[in-house]
């Protein structure tokens, strides 16, 4: 990786794009040269082999049955953990939860594509990526229980803390990637964000900076079709992956419910970063099967039929079909995994209930090194508020 490589590079796809003025389009970046949606496994679990996919297919061509079972296990355990967290919120053990239901392939495929020395910048929904990075699932829950402000050391797993300020982590990732390049390392950086975040100025700035400085970063957009109650149509008039072209780097849309395709495309994009070829935008086309968070009720703004249509494309089901059809997994494997899932659910439940409450006054100590009049006032107000409960109890 060198820093000198900031000279203008030939955009991978510049010619031949059809005029799309004034209408929504599903046209390809370069008609004929790339598939509109990279897919290696159909929803029925059949392996897709065609010339259009060749550039990506080679990244998973040698995948072993054991590795395939590993991807399946990752997705099943992530879904089980996520369901447990949703239940824990409903039982009052967590204040909030942002479910990843439906996005398991997008997260496990991309997470497993990263190397240990790569650095990952997540949003608040990347529980599957956290799993791949080796962050213990129980550590993800402290912030949602309100007992800490993060829950893990980002540098232990090169997995940054969850970021709730929409899109801001793409700037952090770009800066970090520019640093990686200056260090001369061949690591890559990956920034996760959503379709809604794509409208943020921070994301546009990240695209500009990373392109101009040729930063080794992959922008991984999970287009789950919704930004709370806003559909993707309210974010863009062109397919999101085509935005990259305007900044001078490649964009690819991958079937985000196809773990094999996501793994292949993300490996390809990370390799580009490592080789000094700069940023890539990967749009993982997927679906948020659940609510935005446990505070949201999607029945208020979207039709059941939409969800039902996406259920047929379930990421876990399609890999199971492939594993079964190719005799890569037997009943024993699925039964063992079921038992492992239940054990994980139990472990998570017990760990959450055992989390100690923090010292309520600690937060005032962490605002300034040397004390501050306003903080002192707020601490006193809070102490009086806490004391008021004791008085009530005494009545």
Ligand X SMILES: Cc1ncc(C[n+]2csc(CCOP(=O)(O)OP(=O)(O)O)c2C)c(N)n1
What are the residues binding ligand X (CB under 6 A)? 125, 164-166, 194-197, 224, 226-228, 288, 292
Which is closer to ligand X, CB of 273 or CB of 289?
A: 289
Nearest residue to ligand X by CB is 194
What is the phi-psi region of residue 259: left when phi exceeds 0, alpha when psi lies from -120 to 50, beta otherwise?
Answer: alpha
**Partner from Mg ion, ligand X, none binding residue 228, C-beta < 5-8 Å depending on class:** ligand X
- What is the set of active-site residues? 288, 292, 301
Closer Cβ to ligand X, 99 or 280, answer by number: 99
Place of tokens 């004034």: 22
Shortest Cβ 48–ligand X spacing (Å): 27
Q: Which is nearer to ligand X, 248 or 315 (CB)?
A: 315
For 134-169, what is the HEC assignment? CCCHHHHHHHHHCCCCCCCCHHHHCECCCCCCCCHH
Minimum distance, C-beta of residue 382 to ligand X, in the bound complex (Å): 25
Cβ proximity to Mg ion: between 6 and 199 the closer is 199
The pair of structure tokens assigned to 279 is 């940023």
Minimum distance, C-beta of residue 199 to ligand X, in the bound complex (Å): 8
Q: Quick one: three-class SS letters along 241-294?
A: HHHHHHHCCCEEEEECCCHHHHHHHHHHHHHHHHCCCCCEEEEEECCCCCCCCC
* 3-state SS assignment for residue 220: strand
Contacted entry of ligand X, Mg ion, none for residue 213, CB cut-off 5 to 8 Å set by kind? none
- The residues binding Mg ion (CB under 5 A) are 194-196, 224, 227
Interaction partner, residue 243 (ligand X, Mg ion, none; CB < 5-8 Å by kind) = none
Give whichever of 166 and 270 is closer to ligand X, judged by the CB atom.
166
Element counts in the chain: helices (H) and strands (E): 15, 7
With CB under 5 to 8 Å by kind, the binding choice for 207 among ligand X, Mg ion, none is none
CB of 131 to Mg ion, least distance (A): 20
- Pick one of ligand X, Mg ion, none as the site partner of residue 142 (Cβ within 5 to 8 A by kind): none
How far is the CA of 353 from the CAs of 91, 147, 258, 348, in angstroms?
A: 11, 11, 35, 9
Closest by CA to 56, choosing from 351, 254, 348, is: 254
Contact 90, 64 (CB under 8 A): no
Cα-flanking dihedrals φ and ψ of residue 280, to 5°?
Answer: -140, 145
CB of 383 to Mg ion, least distance (A): 41
């Amino acid at each position: 990786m060198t820093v000198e490589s900031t000279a203008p590079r030939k955009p991978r796809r510049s010619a031949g794009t059809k005029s799309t003025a004034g209408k929504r389009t599903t046209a390809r970046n370069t008609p004929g040269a790339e598939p509109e949606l990279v897919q290696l496994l159909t929803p029925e679990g059949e392996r897709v082999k065609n010339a259009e996919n060749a550039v990506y297919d080679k990244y998973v061509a040698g995948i072993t049955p054991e590795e395939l079972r590993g991807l399946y296990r990752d997705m099943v355990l992530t879904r089980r953990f996520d369901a447990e967290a949703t239940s824990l919120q409903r039982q009052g053990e967590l204040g909030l939860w942002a479910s990843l239901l439906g996005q398991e392939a997008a997260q496990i495929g991309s997470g497993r594509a990263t190397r240990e020395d790569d650095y990952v910048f997540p949003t608040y929904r990347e529980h599957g990526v956290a799993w791949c990075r080796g962050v213990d699932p129980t550590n993800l829950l402290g912030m949602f229980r309100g007992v800490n402000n993060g829950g893990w050391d980002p540098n232990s797993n090169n997995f940054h803390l969850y970021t709730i300020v929409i899109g801001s982590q793409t700037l952090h990732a770009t800066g970090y990637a520019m640093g990686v390049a200056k260090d001369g390392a061949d690591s890559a950086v990956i920034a996760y964000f959503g379709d809604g975040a794509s409208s943020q100025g921070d994301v546009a700035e990240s695209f500009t900076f990373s392109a101009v400085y040729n930063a080794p970063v992959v922008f991984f957009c999970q287009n789950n079709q919704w930004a709370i109650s806003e559909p993707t149509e309210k974010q863009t008039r062109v397919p999101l992956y085509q935005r990259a072209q305007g900044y001078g780097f490649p964009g690819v849309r991958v079937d985000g419910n196809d773990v094999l395709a996501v793994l292949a495309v993300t490996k390809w994009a990370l390799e580009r970063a490592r080789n000094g070829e700069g940023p890539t935008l990967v749009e993982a086309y997927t679906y948020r099967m659940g609510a935005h968070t446990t505070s949201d009720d999607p029945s208020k703004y979207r039709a059941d039929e939409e969800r039902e249509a996406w259920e047929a494309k379930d990421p876990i089901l399609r890999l199971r079909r492939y594993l079964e059809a190719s005799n890569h997994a037997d009943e024993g494997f699925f039964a063992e995994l079921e038992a492992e899932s239940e054990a994980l659910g139990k472990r998570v439940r017990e760990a959450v209930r055992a989390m100690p409450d923090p010292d309520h006054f600690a937060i005032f100590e962490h605002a300034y090194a040397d004390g501050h009049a306003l903080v002192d006032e707020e601490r006193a107000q809070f102490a009086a508020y806490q004391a008021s409960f004791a008085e009530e109890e005494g009545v």
